[in-house]
Chain A
Amino acid sequence: MLTNTFSAEDTPSNAAWTILDTEDQWQAFSQPVLNQDIQSSQQLVQSDLLLDGLRCAACSGIIEQGLKSTPGIVSARVSMSKKRAVVVWSPSATLPSKILTAIHDLGYSAFPATQHEDDLVSLQKQRAAFWRWMVSGFCMMQVMMYASPTYFTTPGEISSDILHLLNWASWLLSLPVLLFSSSAFFSNALRDLKQKQISMDLPVALGIIITFIVSSAATFDPSGWWGNTVYFDSLTMFVFFLLSARLVEVKLHRKTLGALDNLASRIPENTERQNPDGTFARVLNTKLKVGDIVRVQIGEAFPADGKIISGNTSVDESLLTGESTPIQKNLHDEVIAGSYNLRKPVCITLNTIGESTKYGQIVNLINNAAVEKPRLSKLADRVARPFLIFVMLSAAIAAALLWNIDHGRALMTAAAVLIVTCPCALSLATPAAMLASASAFVKRGILIKRIQAIENIADVDTIIFDKTGTLTEDHIQIKAIATKAGLTESAALTLAAAVAQHSMHPISRALVNAHKASDLPTPEIELNGIEETSGAGISATINATDASLLEHSGIGNELKLGSAIFCGIAENDSNTQQVYLANKQGWLATFTLQEAIKHNAALAIASLKEAKLAIELLSGDRSSAVENTATQIGISQYQSACSPEDKLLRLQALKREGKKVLMVGDGLNDGPILASAHVSIAMGKGVPLTLAHADYVFLNGDISQIPHLIRHAKQTMKIIKENIAWAIVYNLISIPLAFFGILSAWLAGLGMAVSSLIVVANALRLTKFASPETDTHSDQ
């Protein structure tokens, strides 16, 4: 159907586009494709484009097919809702300017999707859309004013001169509505005709033109066969309703994407970079390179992933990880792009920049999420075309049947049929609901990579959890303390914490945290000669002590905290993780450690069990640790020491039983099962490859969201079905009414606009992540 012959000789329609052809320019909106097939030796590039002129779901198909038939372009995905395209192309075969030209030749326009342009373009478009709507609304009010005398008077009561003048005034004020406000309908209909495509703009444009011609004829020659009735009031009202529906639609999209944009707008524009002579100068972040040394001031965001080379500070990574407490960063610690420097200016050397940073990856996940089209939406697209042909035929038949009775009425009936059948509601039904849900998820720190996953998670019956990092935190806590006779637990902990606070080792931090949590007084212990042996322990000499703590315990002044070998004592239990405190004479205390179970894990599992879901725990960890966790959380079905293959086997067994499995994990070992499960959730702190295979990413790792996520997904599917059913029922009722001339054109316009508004409003209910139990804290 589309015969776009694009050859290498084609020159771009706009010479300015060729500036994008240099590699450093197109890299601003492109990135290399990482997981490409090994067969293709050439490096592929994925570019984001903003599209203009998209009106309906059919447009995305036109662009996708047009681009795919262009040489050098491997794949193209268009998001109708985001008005964005993701194009995968080969730099050796084509150039960005040619891609833009190809889109232009299809009748649309495209821009590189860099953040800055995004904002400007959308602002201009918002204003233009609002202005069109305002013109149609205000003119509608005036035209209604001129039309109202005829509503309340009997024919002949108003003198024909005045009536003529009123019609003239209506005609004048209808002109801006016709020529300006509804110009988009005409240009889109014209483009569709050129492309031999049918979209909903065609019947709308036809309806508007027919109504205007009939009314104009009645204004200028009231004695003609078309009668003396004018329909300017219907016309303006119809355009106003249509534009209102679209304005609301745009508002919905903005609301939905607002959460995503918030993430994208966090990259700072410029940073202080160190010059060769050691001074600092502010440069655009786009000018930064790997290896550059930059100084990040308090309150500024880190421009890229890097390593601290001077100073120490604490950073806020809440945007990227959901971690709300500031994280201490010392010399040589890694910092991530988009996190904020809270305490002291630090210098970092940049390791990773742009799209490959953790931040860039999150942004990419979001882009992929919006581009994926749900299967049901495609169903709506398929329905739209035959539906429209049927509608056009109905209009033609209606006009033909009534033509001999009353020409004017025949045309008005045809107009009514055309107007009433705009498939807006039909094509809006699925994307509106899915996008609204996606926006609700994002507010809760849940990113959806494939938007179809909403459909998938709604019907799961089995959930498999990974343990480490999923059900448990990635830090450890003290489970039990055993002490030598004469030494109290609190004294042992105080001593251990005093030594441990000089180390950043996770176990040391666990000891310090346990001490803080136990509300014990800060020990007045001065330590000298602190020496940390990496991977073994710390030794220190007590200089001055709190007498009450140590006097009668005979501890001496040399302390060792670490492994059994480091402390020179025998290990007594190899099944659990332990750390020992010892002095010159030997053993003082044993601290048994365990992974900290997420505080809401048990609650989440209970809630999932209540929802009649089967729950399993598959872990690669030792059996005792898995058993501990499973019993504490309340999972009866568990398996320990699983290799990735074991996990996959278990999944396949469940699949054979016809189960629909939701996999929740975070580690690299969960990657395969995450990729092959019916639907999967990865924790935001997981490895990139795991995240790439998961359908959902929980940025803050809060598994208590899972029951709500499933409930919300079910609600979304319910609303999509409601929407589609409503769109079909509405059309089934209204077409016969319009056909038999019962429905006048303005009523048809109203009906159509309202049907779209209802679908959108129904979907908007989903932007709030509300569930019965969480109403009290759903606004967090």
Chain B
Amino acid sequence: MDILFVLIPLSVIMALVVLGGLWWAIYRGQFEDIEDEGKRILEDDD
């Protein structure tokens, strides 16, 4: 089980990376309009 000594710290780093991704998404406005973007894919034009 020695691998845990690598995996647990790695999971912390991965978590921080994911948080960075979420930060990027929020401040790029990815969560601003959730409904309309979902509907737009069903529209014929464009």
By a beta-carbon cutoff of 8 Å, the part of chain A in contact with chain B is: 123, 127, 130-131, 134-135, 138-139, 142, 145-146, 159, 161-162, 165-166, 169, 172-173, 176
Interface residues of B in 5-21 (CB under 8 A from A): 5, 8-9, 11-12, 15, 18-19
Q: Tell whether, in the assembled complex, residue B18 and residue A131 are in contact, meaning their CB atoms are under 8 Å apart.
A: no
For B8, the chain A residues whose CB sits under 8 A away are 146, 162, 165-166, 169
Q: How far is the CA of A638 from the CA of B8 in the complex (A)?
A: 82
For B29, the chain A residues whose CB sits under 8 A away are 127
CB distance from B18 to the nearest CB of A (A): 7
For A166, the chain B residues whose CB sits under 8 A away are 8
Residue of B nearest to A166 (CB): B8
For B19, the chain A residues whose CB sits under 8 A away are 134-135, 138-139, 176
Bitwise interface map of B from 15 to 32 toward A, beta carbon under 8 Å scored 1, else 0: 100110011001101011
Q: How far is the CA of A146 from the CA of B10 in the complex (A)?
A: 13
For B15, the chain A residues whose CB sits under 8 A away are 138-139, 142, 173
Q: Tell whether, in the assembled complex, residue A138 and residue B23 are in contact, meaning their CB atoms are under 8 Å apart.
A: no
Q: How far is the CA of A162 from the CA of B6 in the complex (A)?
A: 11
Task: Check A130/B9 contact, CB under 8 A, given A135-B19, A162-B1, A165-B4.
Answer: no
For B26, the chain A residues whose CB sits under 8 A away are 127, 130-131, 134
A and B contact pairs by CB, cutoff 8 A, 9 listed: A131-B26, A134-B26, A142-B11, A142-B15, A146-B8, A162-B1, A165-B8, A169-B11, A173-B15
Residue of A nearest to B18 (CB): A138
Q: How far is the CA of A357 from the CA of B25 in the complex (A)?
A: 42
Given A142-B11, A162-B4, A165-B4, 11 further pairs, Cβ under 8 A = A130-B26, A131-B27, A138-B15, A138-B22, A142-B12, A145-B11, A146-B8, A161-B5, A162-B1, A165-B5, A173-B12
Interface residues of A, dominant DSSP: helix
CB distance from A77 to the nearest CB of B (A): 31
Q: Tell whether, in the assembled complex, residue B22 and residue A134 are in contact, meaning their CB atoms are under 8 Å apart.
A: yes
For B23, the chain A residues whose CB sits under 8 A away are 131
Count A/B pairs, Cβ under 8 Å.
45
Q: Which of B1, B11, B27 contacts A127 (CB 8 A)?
A: B27
Q: How far is the CA of A145 from the CA of B5 in the complex (A)?
A: 16
For B9, the chain A residues whose CB sits under 8 A away are 165, 169
Q: Tell whether, in the assembled complex, residue A130 and residue B31 are in contact, meaning their CB atoms are under 8 Å apart.
A: yes
Q: How far is the CA of A161 from the CA of B27 in the complex (A)?
A: 39
Nearest 4 CB-CB pairings of A with B: A142-B15, A131-B26, A169-B12, A165-B8
Q: How far is the CA of A247 from the CA of B31 in the complex (A)?
A: 14
For A165, the chain B residues whose CB sits under 8 A away are 4-5, 8-9
Name the interface size band of chain B: 10 to 19
Q: How far is the CA of A166 from the CA of B5 in the complex (A)?
A: 10
Q: How far is the CA of A33 from the CA of B8 in the complex (A)?
A: 65
For A169, the chain B residues whose CB sits under 8 A away are 8-9, 11-12
CB distance from A149 to the nearest CB of B (A): 10
CB distance from B4 to the nearest CB of A (A): 6
CB distance from A697 to the nearest CB of B (A): 31
For B12, the chain A residues whose CB sits under 8 A away are 142, 169, 172-173
Q: How far is the CA of A16 from the CA of B12 in the complex (A)?
A: 43
Q: How far is the CA of A159 from the CA of B8 in the complex (A)?
A: 14
Q: How far is the CA of A172 from the CA of B10 in the complex (A)?
A: 12
Q: How far is the CA of A172 from the CA of B9 in the complex (A)?
A: 10
Q: How far is the CA of A491 from the CA of B26 in the complex (A)?
A: 70
For B18, the chain A residues whose CB sits under 8 A away are 138
Q: How far is the CA of A131 from the CA of B21 in the complex (A)?
A: 11
For B22, the chain A residues whose CB sits under 8 A away are 131, 134-135, 138
Residue of B nearest to A127 (CB): B26
CB distance from A51 to the nearest CB of B (A): 23
Residue of A nearest to B23 (CB): A131
Q: How far is the CA of A460 from the CA of B4 in the complex (A)?
A: 70
Residue of B nearest to A170 (CB): B12
CB distance from A236 to the nearest CB of B (A): 12
Q: How far is the CA of A123 from the CA of B4 in the complex (A)?
A: 42
Q: How far is the CA of A446 from the CA of B4 in the complex (A)?
A: 63
CB distance from B46 to the nearest CB of A (A): 23
Q: How far is the CA of A61 from the CA of B29 in the complex (A)?
A: 35
Q: How far is the CA of A142 from the CA of B18 in the complex (A)?
A: 11
CB distance from A135 to the nearest CB of B (A): 6
CB distance from B39 to the nearest CB of A (A): 18
For A130, the chain B residues whose CB sits under 8 A away are 26, 31
CB distance from B40 to the nearest CB of A (A): 21
For A139, the chain B residues whose CB sits under 8 A away are 15, 19
CB distance from B7 to the nearest CB of A (A): 10
Q: How far is the CA of A131 from the CA of B20 in the complex (A)?
A: 11
For A162, the chain B residues whose CB sits under 8 A away are 1, 4-5, 8
For A161, the chain B residues whose CB sits under 8 A away are 5
Q: How far is the CA of A576 from the CA of B11 in the complex (A)?
A: 88
A123, A127, A146, A176: residue with the most chain B Cβ atoms closer than 10 Å = A127
CB distance from A579 to the nearest CB of B (A): 54
Q: How far is the CA of A559 from the CA of B31 in the complex (A)?
A: 69
For A159, the chain B residues whose CB sits under 8 A away are 1
B9, B15, B27: residue with the most chain A Cβ atoms closer than 10 Å = B15
For A123, the chain B residues whose CB sits under 8 A away are 32
For A131, the chain B residues whose CB sits under 8 A away are 22-23, 26-27
Q: How far is the CA of A134 from the CA of B21 in the complex (A)?
A: 11
CB distance from A476 to the nearest CB of B (A): 46
Q: How far is the CA of A165 from the CA of B3 in the complex (A)?
A: 12
CB distance from A394 to the nearest CB of B (A): 37
Residue of B nearest to A138 (CB): B19
CB distance from B45 to the nearest CB of A (A): 21
Q: How far is the CA of A135 from the CA of B22 in the complex (A)?
A: 9
Residue of B nearest to A143 (CB): B15
Q: How far is the CA of A26 from the CA of B1 in the complex (A)?
A: 68
CB distance from B23 to the nearest CB of A (A): 7
CB distance from A454 to the nearest CB of B (A): 30
Residue of A nearest to B4 (CB): A162
CB distance from B42 to the nearest CB of A (A): 21
CB distance from B34 to the nearest CB of A (A): 11
